[in-house]
Amino acid sequence: AQSVTQLGSHVSVSEGALVLLRCNYSSSVPPYLFWYVQYPNQGLQLLLKYTTGATLVKGINGFEAEFKKSETSFHLTKPSAHMSDAAEYFCAVSNTGGFKTIFGAGTRLFVKA
């Protein structure tokens, strides 16, 4: 079985500060990992994904994440937060035997001016 744990339901940073959203996963097979962002009353948009290859993946809007197998982590970072980054972020792992995707509980990012 696969699962995703996002540490911290809320994260607050100042504009220009580092953003770090934590995600740990559990998977009995090599995982495929994703980060999605959700703005109010909208669906989810893909930020980035890890499938195979390079463990540091870059996504849209300056976000990146590093897959660390030894730590079973896939934390999302951005060097400098922008007000427009305020949103809900979901880490997800997919079932390689099919299309079922398991989502974490989400982390709401607040950006202070």
Partner 1 sequence: GAVVSQHPSWVICKSGTSVKIECRSLDFQATTMFWYRQFPKQSLMLMATSNEGSKATYEQGVEKDKFLINHASLTLSTLTVTSAHPEDSSFYICSAPGTGPSSYNSPLHFGNGTRLTVT
- Binding residues for partner 1, rule: CB under 8 A, are 32, 34, 36, 41-46, 49, 51, 90, 94, 96, 98-101, 103-106, 108
Smallest gap from Cβ 16 to partner 1, in A, equals 27
Nearer to partner 1, 6 or 73 (CB): 6
- Tokens standing for 78? 């951005």
Give backbone dihedrals phi and psi of 86, rounded to 5 degrees, phi first.
-60, 120
Smallest gap from Cβ 80 to partner 1, in A, equals 25
Nearer to partner 1, 62 or 106 (CB): 106
Smallest gap from Cβ 113 to partner 1, in A, equals 23
SS3 content of the chain, % helix, strand, coil (to 5): 5, 55, 40
Q: Which of 56, 62, 67 is CA-nearest to residue 91?
A: 67
